[in-house]
Structure 1
Amino acid sequence: MLKPLLLACLFCFSVPAIASCEDVKSQIDAKLQAKGVKSYTLDIVPANQAAAPAGASGVAAAPAKEAAGKVVGTCEGDTRQIVYKRN
């Protein structure tokens, strides 16, 4: 009896960690619209292409041009990130 209960608990905690990127993106989009934010884009990029943390010079290094922006969410087990950019 304890094993099925434990497995059910583990499954419930793992589902949000493997959330669909489109679902997470739509939730973030809804929150931004509710706050009245206009003129922005949300891009889904692989985690290794997202903006790197600030280096010694204090300037953030962006490995890819399309990944420049602020990481506002992760999805698919932290393999992808949602990047916010102002227009």
Structure 2
Amino acid sequence: MLINSLALSLMLCSISAGAAITSCETIKDKVDARLDSKGVSDYTLKVVSRDTPTKLRVVGVCEGGKKKIIYQKDKRANKADE
């Protein structure tokens, strides 16, 4: 009986962990909406592999931690102001 309960618990944990994986587009859309609501403009959000080295700001992770979303301020806006 104890083994059956333990097995059931492990199965439920693995199912809930699998359900927690969120697509990169969903996370990217949420980050985009949050930045827009704060008045941030002229930026790029890019999805890259988790192993990709970057000096840019990581603003999200997706696909169960396999990828990350990085934020980069576009320089075009600064040149347009000059």
1:42 and 2:30 correspond? no
Q: CA deviation at 1:10?
A: 4.7
Select 1:72's aligned residue among 56, 59, 65.
Answer: 59
Which has the larger helix fraction?
A: 2
* 1:1-87 alignment, distance < 5 Å: 3=8, 7-8=11-12, 10-16=14-20, 18-51=21-54, 68-87=55-74
Name 2:79's counterpart in structure 1.
Answer: none
Query: 1 or 2 for the larger relative contact order (CA 8 Å, sep ≥6)?
Result: 1
Offset of residue 69 of structure 1: 1.5
**Distance verdict in 2 for CA 1:50–1:74, change over 3 Å:** farther
Aligned residues: 69
Which consecutive unaligned segments of at least 5 residues does structure 2 have?
75-82
Alignment TM-score, normalising by the size of structure 1: 0.65
**How many angstroms does 1:79 deviate by?**
0.9
Structure label with greater radius of gyration: 2
Show structure 1 runs of 5+ residues with no match: 52-67
Q: CA RMSD in A?
A: 2.0
